Chain A
Amino acid sequence: MTTWRERVEVARRENRPQHLVTGVPYAAFAGIAADLDDSGHPRCRLRYADALIGNPLIPALHGGVIGGLLESAAIILLLWESEPGVVPVTVNMSFDFLRTGRPVDVLATGRVYKQGRRVANVRVEAWQDDRERPIAAAHGHFLLKREGQDG
């Protein structure tokens, strides 16, 4: 089993945040991938699939999978920006659903607002065609565990 330290080191060396996603079963299940945006900032993409629909009448994406994308984006930002060997563990997430998630891809990225030794606060946004019109926003707290450390 690859350790998170090894994943982070490879991802940074090759400048490919996708290494932080590959091998995460839920990311493959939902269709979440990671790359770098034009300014070299990690960004996640939820690839549209009919299986992601939560309201077939509209149709609209399920809020829960948009939540999964936002939480993934926050974790990838933390892994990318922390020293290798730090593993973020989600304490909580607070989601605001702003607009209907239409049946197309969703992008998500954000910023680490505060990174302490033990805990970090991250804010993330999800959008579809227009970054200025986010479909959801979230903030979350993450415990920063050192790999191999319990509790």
Chain B
Amino acid sequence: MSRAERPAFDRELLEQIVQAIPHVGVLGLKVTEIDVGRALARIDWRDDLVGDPGTGVLHGGVLTTVVDTVSGLAVMSRVTEVMQIATLDLRIDYLRPARPRLPVFAEATCYRLSRSVAFVRARAYQEGGDDVAASLATFMLQSSSLPAWVKTQGTRT
């Protein structure tokens, strides 16, 4: 791989970036694997994340957040320049209710990276079960300028 094509963020840096996201921290979302163009994460079931107290099923907002985060990470793992990205759109299908008290895993693949837009598909699933959600998302690359101190750090990587 030539210098220009090398991913700008390595695994360690991406893990640091994700850990610095406040909303990821309060959800207890953990990144478990990152490759170029692919990311995996897990979230443990918690009673304060439930959407329907009658069934104990997680709120859709939790799955949307997990899928959005892991999809963004799949994009970040592939870009060859230090940059910010932003979700343009995200469509999520809730295939079946996530079973209460079990963790949910999410896997995202950035399958196409153009100059301005990244295309990502993702799935959420539980152990020994079928998928609970499927999503397609697009991300805008270079969505906003970086603070000067980040740029300086970026040129050193």
- A residues near B (Cβ < 8 Å) are 1, 3-4, 23-30, 50-58, 60-65, 67-69, 71-72, 90-97, 100
- CB-based nearest B residue for A57: B147
Q: Is the CB of A71 within 8 A of B64?
A: yes
List the B side residues contacting A57 at CB < 8 Å.
84, 146-147, 150
Q: A26-B49, A56-B20 are in contact. Are A92 and B94 (CB under 8 A)?
A: yes
Q: A24-B53, A62-B69, A64-B62 are in contact. List 10 more A-B contacts (CB 8 A).
A: A1-B54, A25-B50, A25-B59, A30-B61, A54-B23, A62-B24, A68-B62, A94-B92, A96-B89, A97-B87
List the B side residues contacting A4 at CB < 8 Å.
54
8 Å CB interface, B35-75 against A: 47-54, 58-62, 64-69
Question: How far does the alpha carbon of A54 sit from the alpha carbon of B67 in the complex, in Å?
Answer: 13
Interface size grouping (class) on chain B: 35 or more
List the A side residues contacting B23 at CB < 8 Å.
51-54, 61-62, 64-65
Partner of A67, one of B21, B65, B86, B88: B65
Partner of B22, one of A56, A64, A92: A56
20 pairs, A vs B, C-beta closer than 8 Å: A24-B52, A29-B48, A51-B25, A54-B23, A56-B22, A58-B84, A58-B144, A62-B21, A62-B24, A62-B68, A63-B86, A63-B87, A64-B23, A64-B64, A64-B66, A67-B61, A91-B93, A92-B93, A93-B91, A95-B89
- Nearest Cβ distance between residue B35 and chain A, in whole angstroms? 22
List the B side residues contacting A65 at CB < 8 Å.
23, 61, 65
Number of A-B contacts (CB under 8 A): 134
- Nearest Cβ distance between residue A24 and chain B, in whole angstroms? 6
- Nearest Cβ distance between residue A144 and chain B, in whole angstroms? 15
- B residues near A (Cβ < 8 Å) are 20-26, 47-54, 58-62, 64-69, 84, 86-94, 144, 146-147, 150
Q: A62-B68, A68-B62 are in contact. Are A50 and B144 (CB under 8 A)?
A: no
List the A side residues contacting B146 at CB < 8 Å.
57
List the B side residues contacting A60 at CB < 8 Å.
86
List the A side residues contacting B62 at CB < 8 Å.
26, 64, 68
